[in-house]
Amino acid sequence: MSQLRPAGRRLDWPDLLFGVFLIALSAGAFAATSRLSGGSAADMGPGYMPRAIALILLGFGLFFAGRSLARGHAGIERVQARPMLGIAVAVGAFALLIEDAGLVAASFSAVLLAAAASRQSRLFEVILFGLCVTAGAVLLFVKALALPVPIWPWSI
């Protein structure tokens, strides 16, 4: 008779708790949208998308909860401060620069600062990636979506 997990292995508590959290979140969404009409895919009601997302969350919750029972706890790495601070500084710099310096400077500086969060970043690759992301941001937000975002500091 086979067991789900070998003897002596502990539950993967982080996965189990995350799965239970997702299941509870989806149950809350189903409860909150119970009075909204769902409709169908062809004629969506106001409750259709929240329930669809709740169903996806339920699936992920069941997956993580089931996986926690099938394997033992692998351990959690120690939190690294450098990546967390680097990403936070990049997001903050983007928010501070977007209005005064424009989209080009804000996007490019955010990529440079985010790359500083990793010791594996290479300068040439980061600059090339930053140029591509910046060009993509201008094309998407300013040209395709026509958002009123200044591209350059002098176009304000």
Confidence of residue 5 (pLDDT cuts 50, 70, 90): very low
| pLDDT digit string, tens, across residues 23-45 | 999 999 999 998 888 888 788 88
Who wins on pLDDT, 40 or 140? 140
CB neighbour class for 14 (10 Å; exposed up to 12, middle 13-18, buried from 19): middle
| pLDDT digit string, tens, across residues 45-63 | 888 899 999 999 999 999 9
When pLDDT is averaged across residues 108-137 and rounded to a whole number, the result is 93
Confidence of residue 4 (pLDDT cuts 50, 70, 90): low
Who wins on pLDDT, 44 or 112? 112
pLDDT at 42: 82
Q: Is the pLDDT of residue 2 over 60?
A: no
DSSP output for 106-132: HHHHHHHHHHTT-TT--HHHHHHHHHH
The overall average pLDDT reported for the chain is 87
Which residue ranges make up each domain of the chain?
A: 13-70, 81-144
CA distance 145 to 99: 18
pLDDT at 31: 94
Of 61-70, 72-81, 110-119, give the lowest mean pLDDT range.
72-81
CA distance 63 to 4: 14
When pLDDT is averaged across residues 12-28 and rounded to a whole number, the result is 92
